[in-house]
Chains A and B, each alone.
Chain A
Amino acid sequence: MSSTQTSRRTQAGTTEPAWVKWTLIALALSFIFLFLILPLAAVFTEALRKGFGAYLDALQEPDAWTAIRLTLITAAIAVPLNLVFGVAAAWAIAKFEFRGKAFLTTLVDLPFSVSPVVAGLVYVLLFGAHGWIGPWLQAHDIKIVFAVPGIVLATVFVTFPFIARELIPLMQAQGTEEEQAAMVLGANGWQIFWHVTLPNIKWGLVYGVILCNARAMGEFGAVSVVSGHIRGQTNTMPLHVEILYNEYQSVAAFAVASLLALLAVLTLLIKSAVEWQFERDQKAAALLPPENPGR
């Protein structure tokens, strides 16, 4: 009896009165509803405004298909490139001590803080007709800007830090003990990576890859600068959305946009599932008997 009373009193000391609590919840939920749920719902209602048939027709346009294909190709190149980089950078930064490490980590983050428009511009300055190596490229009939390679490069730039950023703190927290143990047991570098490190970082890796992919498929500003907007050739899905929208083809624009919104929802679902798995793994690991009580 007395114990329930004391616990209730401490409870009252660290929570708010019910009316404060429910007001705060209501405020937060209204904000989420207005700023996140309504825009998401608007995409789908606008896409279906003229019925499901019109929606499907809009998606069957050849230009829409080229845009979808180009977006998939871009992501299929950009994500693996940044995946390899992310793993390499995380290995070097998290497993070793060296001078300038903090500075290197800052540089890896740099593309996040550069405006996408500026990111696109730098490639135009390098590879464009008036750019540094533009004339040479033209002489050899290589097109980078206003063509697919430029779109891929700009996408690689804006998605550059995603996977490295996920992996560096994760691998730093895990330390190097397990890898060293594997080495003592005679494993070589690849064996250590495949059998020791990779299983430890797999959820962080999946997490980084899906976020990187979402951004790669959805990038607008940087790609818009380098693409040249050649319809049916250098339009990615977001650029195609812009063109349709500016031509007042609202249903078609929102139909393509709805595919991107579905991608976003799918990304959030996978992300939540990964977080859930990760927490479960952590809890399972915490239940194991401690191997090193000194830690």
Chain B
Amino acid sequence: MTAATLSELPPASGRKAQRKRPTRRVLPGFNLTLGYTILYLSLIVLIPLSALVFKTFTLSWEQFWAAVSSPRVMASYQLTFGASFIAALVNVFFGLLVAWVLVRYPFPGKKVIDALVDLPFALPTAVAGIALTALLAGNGWVGQVLEPQGIKLAFNRNGIVIALIFIGLPFVVRTVQPVLEDAEKELEEAATCLGATRWQTFRYVIFPTIAPALLTGFAMAFARAIGEYGSVIFIAGNMPMISEITPLIIIGKLEQYDYAGATAVAVVMLVISFVLLLLINALQAWQRRRAGASS
């Protein structure tokens, strides 16, 4: 970013004073907008979330531990993380493929496909859930082909993974696509001139450039999949210990008025999502540094 803000400009008194002196803010509205931002953020996000954390303090450690580590809850973590991991991995592969095809090859209908990639962002999750269920159930378009072969994709763990693949697809495509667009063709030409095969060029020249973006996309798809609820519950079958995801555990506890138990599990999920958010931020910073170093 080359656009210098006024506060970055060295003052007339010389460079050394620049760091120590509080920066002068020339444009109006700083206090108003920052104040409003912090107020609104606190009211909508921070205070409600801290209410969640404080609520867990009303539990003893034993109660908390019992709530978050009962066998049924443990099975749900395993399922949620496992399914999210597989789905994110599939998304890395197909997301890269789709991004590659969209950036590198011209073909008819490309603009429509490009726009369609964002469908999972725009389509309400409940609609996605019932649509996928209708497709994969025994009487659905896909289900009636696969079920006679003994492949069941709905009302079990397979369905969960498929719903999560749907939800996570745009994340990988949209993080990799701009990096592929900016990748310099000269490097590939140089590799070819030096005698590399096309595969070697991909493996040693292109892949390292897009690896940070792929990892970021993976983390984003994974983070989204862990919290996903709407698209999964219709297709999962929701059998305790087998196909019950963690968000559904929270709902179940709430329906039994077990507020303390629901809160405890929710705090575990909140901590995990906060860690993932920090990880994604670090990955994006790494990606920007890599992009800055290469250009």
Contact = CB atoms under 8 A, between A and B. Distances in A.
A31 B91 CA distance: 11
Interface string A27-57: 1110110111111101100100000000000
Contacts of B122: 211, 214, 218, 263-265, 267-268, 271
Contact of A24 (B52, B101, B115, B116): B101
B20 interface: no
B223 interface: yes
Interface in B13-66: 23, 25-30, 32-34, 36-38, 40-41, 44-49, 51-52, 55
Contacts of B38: 104
B291 interface: no
Contacts of A239: 126
B6 A221 contact: no
Nearest to A87: B33
A114 B27 contact: no
A19 interface: no
A272 B111 contact: yes
Interface residues of A, number: 107
Main secondary structure of the interface of A (DSSP, over half): helix
Interface in B213-272: 223-224, 226-230, 234, 247, 250-251, 254, 257, 259, 262-263, 266, 269-270
Interface in A243-276: 245, 250, 253-254, 257, 260-261, 263-265, 267-269, 271-272
Interface stretch (A58-66, A169-177, A283-291): A169-177
Contacts of A219: 124
Contacts of B230: 116, 220-221, 224, 238
B189 interface: yes
Nearest to A89: B37
A114 B3 contact: no
A110 B45 contact: yes
Interface string B184-222: 010011001100001000000000000000000000000
B189 A85 contact: no
Contacts of B45: 107, 110-111, 157, 160
Interface string A167-187: 000001111110110010000
Contact of B254 (A21, A109, A124): A124
Contact of B5 (A35, A95, A122, A192): A95
Nearest to A179: B27
B115 A27 contact: no
B142 interface: yes
Contacts of A245: 130, 234
Contacts of B127: 43, 218, 238, 241, 257, 260-261, 264
A238 to B, nearest CB: 4
A38 B189 contact: no
Given A125-B55, A176-B27, A268-B119, A113 B274 contact: yes
Contacts of B119: 36, 40, 264, 268
Given A92-B29, A268-B122, 16 more contacts: A13-B192, A29-B113, A31-B94, A38-B135, A39-B131, A39-B166, A92-B34, A107-B41, A108-B37, A118-B52, A172-B3, A180-B6, A214-B124, A220-B124, A260-B127, A268-B115
Interface of A: 10, 13-17, 21, 24-25, 27-29, 31-32, 34-40, 42-43, 46, 84-85, 88-89, 91-93, 95-98, 104, 106-118, 121-126, 128, 130-132, 153, 156-157, 160, 172-177, 179-180, 183, 188-189, 192-193, 211, 214-215, 217-221, 224-225, 237-239, 241-242, 245, 250, 253-254, 257, 260-261, 263-265, 267-269, 271-272, 295
12 contacts: A31-B97, A36-B166, A37-B116, A40-B123, A108-B41, A116-B230, A117-B247, A121-B250, A130-B257, A157-B48, A175-B3, A176-B5
Interface of B: 1-8, 23, 25-30, 32-34, 36-38, 40-41, 44-49, 51-52, 55, 94, 97-98, 100-102, 104-105, 107, 111, 113-128, 130-132, 134-135, 140-142, 165-166, 169, 185, 188-189, 192-193, 198, 223-224, 226-230, 234, 247, 250-251, 254, 257, 259, 262-263, 266, 269-270, 273-274, 276-278, 280-281
